[in-house]
């Protein structure tokens, strides 16, 4: 259920980016384009983004974290590129600045949506009984 919530939050954040950033467009069936791109963005954020952050660790530290929106923009551009070129879904990001602003909007909207979702319940704790031996 939590994966579905993550995907839905990412999809809503992408909708906000499409409406707010002039260089981000969806051609064809917008629902399919947003849904597929949200799934791709989730996979890229899970597998490729940690590698990018590790590789850019020096830039991130030197800029006091201001390089992270560049990485967010790159991951959005990469998801759009894969969706458009490999899968044939018409989610298009026109360049660096639309990707940068779109990544920033996706980050902010995702943060706000996660703030209003109910927190994840921790798994039930297991109890261990310690028996006292009389010696």
Question: pLDDT, tens digit, for every residue of 81-115?
Answer: 999 999 999 899 999 999 999 999 999 999 999 99
pLDDT value of position 131? 64
pLDDT value of position 134? 59
C-alpha distances in Å from residue 44, one per residue of 29, 74, 108, 134: 22, 10, 18, 58
pLDDT value of position 59? 94
Report field, pTM of the whole predicted structure over 0.75: yes
pLDDT beneath 70, residues of the chain: 123, 125-135
Q: What angle do CA 110, 18, 46 make, to 5 degrees?
A: 40
Q: Give buried/exposed letters for 90-124 (b at 16+ CB in 10 A, else e).
A: bbbbeeeebbbbbbbbbbebbeebeeeeeeeeeee
pLDDT value of position 2? 83
């Amino acid at each position: 259920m939590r994966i579905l919530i993550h995907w839905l939050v990412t999809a809503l954040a992408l909708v906000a980016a499409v409406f707010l950033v002039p260089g981000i467009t969806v051609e064809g069936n917008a629902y399919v384009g947003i849904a597929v791109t949200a799934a791709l963005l989730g996979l890229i954020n899970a597998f490729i983004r940690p590698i990018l952050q590790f590789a850019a660790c020096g830039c991130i530290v030197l800029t006091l974290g201001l390089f992270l929106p560049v990485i967010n923009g790159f991951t959005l551009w990469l998801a759009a590129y894969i969706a458009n070129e490999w899968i044939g879904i018409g989610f298009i990001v026109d360049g660096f600045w639309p990707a940068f602003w779109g990544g920033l909007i996706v980050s902010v909207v995702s943060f706000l949506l996660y703030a209003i979702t109910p927190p994840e319940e921790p798994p039930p704790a297991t109890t261990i009984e310690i028996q006292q031996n009389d010696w």
